[in-house]
Chains A and B, each alone.
Chain A
Amino acid sequence: MPRLFKYIIFWGGIYLSALVMPLLFAAWAHTGEGRGFWVEFGVALGLVGLAMLALQFALTARFRKATLPFGVDSILQFHRQAGIIAFFFIFAHPIILILADRRYLEFFDPRVNAPRTIFLIVAMLCLLILIVLSIWREKFRLSYEWWRFTHGVAAVLLVGIGLAHALQVGHYLEPTWKKAIWIAFTGVAFYLIGFLRLIKPLRIWRRPWRIAEVRNEPGDVWTLVLDAEGHAGMKHDPGQFVWITVKKIPFALQQHPFSIASCSPDPRRLELTIKELGDWTSKLGQIPPGSRAFLEGPYGTFTLDENFDGGLVFIVGGIGVTPCMSMLRALRNANSRRKMLLIYGNKTHDAIVFNDELEAMQREMDLTVVHVVETPSDDWHGETGFLTGELLDRYLPGDQREDYHYYICGPDPMMDVAENALMDRGVPLWNIYIERFKMV
């Protein structure tokens, strides 16, 4: 636990410093008089908002050092929350300025400076697009790929215009060295998105994979078996995930994060088990064996703690079983004697993926599998309905619950129930591992 807090304070401190740095810069060596509280506050909103937007690029760059203690999913959640806050900061910036002093309306008057008006309106539209499409992507029936594309374009446009606007207004950006620092800061942000979308794909280009087999599993689920082509493959910890691009070249709109289900001792062979959900995954069955794919990763902190050898509880729903399957397979390969419990929710009995293998694992290890079926058939005698705290009470270890590690992965509502139920039952936060994939 305490280590996680140290990381939060360290990285939170760096983030906050980067946010308020523009204000320190603005005030530093500035000789002009103040222009009234609300004008200065309005200006501060713009400066901090722009810094926040530029930092958004750093949050999605998937730095291993920074993401390692938290996990990519938490960082992306943070990116999402910070984006919403930046939206309010930036929107409040012109509103407060205009309310404080009508003369600021000039910025939106095309008779004064038409290009400026157009650019500022484009920037506001970009901001709206970024937020609206990220929160309500599914309502707009926008595919993940096209969302990702528009998100990147709108973000670059917005920050570019924001920088130009700050330079043009220039009030707090004199003398020139201040301008240079702002340009450099934004330049780094743009480099990071270029790094993510161009340099990273270039690096993995030399490490192609071949889809050796596309295997149908129960309930619209497919397993892709991948073989490394002419390289050493990918070492990963059980529970981690990769970003996959199925294409001849690694440059594509399509790049999807999926958990590695396998735990093969040979890093040149990987298996990804994927459920048909979105537009891309519904075509999984049509991928011809022999197709080329590229993998980026591995990522994720939803893994076993090397320094812990106590009991394990896995609470999973549907396809959320895949990362836990990788861990269970690793534990079986290691002839583990640890006490393990798997609570596994599914819509129907027929949709249970890995059912036979889990049956076998129960005989090979100290593992108890509890199936929870949402709509059971008449001959089903197990647990039914949704996961609840009462259901957990029937199976969780009665005492010493803090001596277990808990892994939760599945649909959002299920994870919320499991998280809260565990915390209510006295499980410390740092014993709970969570993987959330649904970002937009």
Chain B
Amino acid sequence: MQHLYTRRLTEGLALLAAAGMLIFAWWRNW
């Protein structure tokens, strides 16, 4: 698997995790 694709995959997963955190913060104050 390509180096570049590994990086994109990591970044993609991190973005999804960050989205999870935003939803969590929003939802806790809902």
The residues of A with any CB-CB pair to B shorter than 8 Å are 4, 8, 12, 15-16, 19-20, 23, 26-27, 34-38, 40-41, 44-45, 48, 52, 70-71, 74, 77-78, 81-82, 85, 415-416, 419, 429, 432, 434, 436
- Lowest 10 CB-CB distances: which A-B pairs, in order? A34-B29, A81-B10, A41-B25, A44-B21, A34-B28, A40-B25, A20-B20, A85-B14, A40-B28, A77-B6
| Complex Cα spacing A355 to B25, Å | 62
- Pair A41/B22 contact, Cβ less than 8 Å: yes
Cβ-neighbour of A48 out of B4, B7, B17, B27 (below 8 A):
B17
| Residue of A16, A35, A81, A419 ringed by the most chain B CB atoms within 10 A | A81
Complex Cα distance, B28 from A36, in Å, reads 8
Interface centre among B1, B6, B22 (most CB of A within 10 A): B1
Docked pose: A372 CA to B2 CA in angstroms: 24
Q: Is the CB of B13 within 8 A of A16?
A: yes
Known: A36-B29, A40-B24, A41-B22. A81 touches B1 (CB 8 A): no
- When distances are taken between beta carbons in the complex, the residues of chain A under 8 Å from B16 are 16, 20
Additional A-B contacts beyond A41-B22, A52-B17, A436-B3 (18; CB < 8 A): A4-B1, A12-B9, A16-B13, A16-B16, A16-B17, A19-B20, A20-B17, A27-B24, A34-B29, A34-B30, A40-B25, A41-B24, A48-B20, A77-B6, A77-B7, A82-B14, A85-B11, A429-B2
Contact A15 B13, CB 8 Å, known A23-B24, A48-B21? yes
Q: Can you list 7 A-B pairs with a CB-CB distance of less than 8 A?
A: A20-B20, A26-B24, A27-B28, A44-B25, A82-B14, A85-B10, A419-B3
Residues of A within 8 A of B11 (CB): 81, 85
Measured CA separation A145–B16 after assembly (Å): 35
Q: Are A23 and B2 in contact (CB under 8 A)?
A: no
The answer to whether A77 and B24 have CB atoms under 8 Å apart is: no
Name the CB-closest residue of A to B19: A20
Q: In the assembled complex, how far is the CB of residue B18 from the closest CB belonging to chain A, in whole angstroms?
A: 8
Residue from B3, B17, B29 within 8 A of A19 (CB atoms)? B17
Closest A residue to B8 by beta carbon equals A81
Residues in chain A near residue B5, CB distance under 8 A:
429
Residue of B nearest to A432 (CB): B2
Residues of B within 8 A of A36 (CB): 29
Within the complex, the shortest CB–CB distance from B6 to chain A, in Å, comes to 4
> Are A37's CB and B29's CB within 8 A?
yes
Complex contact A77–B3 (CB within 8 A): yes
Tell me the minimal C-beta distance from B13 to chain A in angstroms.
5
Q: Are B1 and A74 in contact (CB under 8 A)?
A: yes
Q: Please state if A19 and B28 are interface contacts (CB–CB under 8 Å).
A: no
CB of A7 to closest CB in B, whole Å: 9
Contact B6 A23 (CB under 8 A): no
Return A14 CB to nearest CB of chain B, in Å: 11
Distance A34 CA – B9 CA, assembled complex (angstroms): 32
Most buried by A among B4, B7, B9: B9
Residue of A nearest to B4 (CB): A419
Most A C-beta atoms less than 10 A away, residue of B7, B13, B28: B28
Contacting pair B2 A434 (CB below 8 A): yes
Closest to B5 in A: A429
Q: In the complex, A300→B28 CA distance in Å?
A: 45
Please, how many angstroms separate the alpha-carbon atoms of A429 and B5 in the complex?
10
Q: How far is the CB of B2 from chain A (nearest CB, A)?
A: 6
Report the minimum CB–CB distance from A417 to chain B (whole Å): 13
Compute how far the CA of A429 lies from the CA of B24 in the bound complex, rounded to whole angstroms: 37
* Nearest CB on B from A69, distance (A): 9
The complex places the Cα of A73 from the Cα of B22 at a distance, in Å, of: 32
Identify the closest chain B residue to A77 (Cβ): B6
**Quick one: given A19-B20, A44-B21, A71-B1, are A78 and B9 in contact (CB under 8 Å)?**
yes
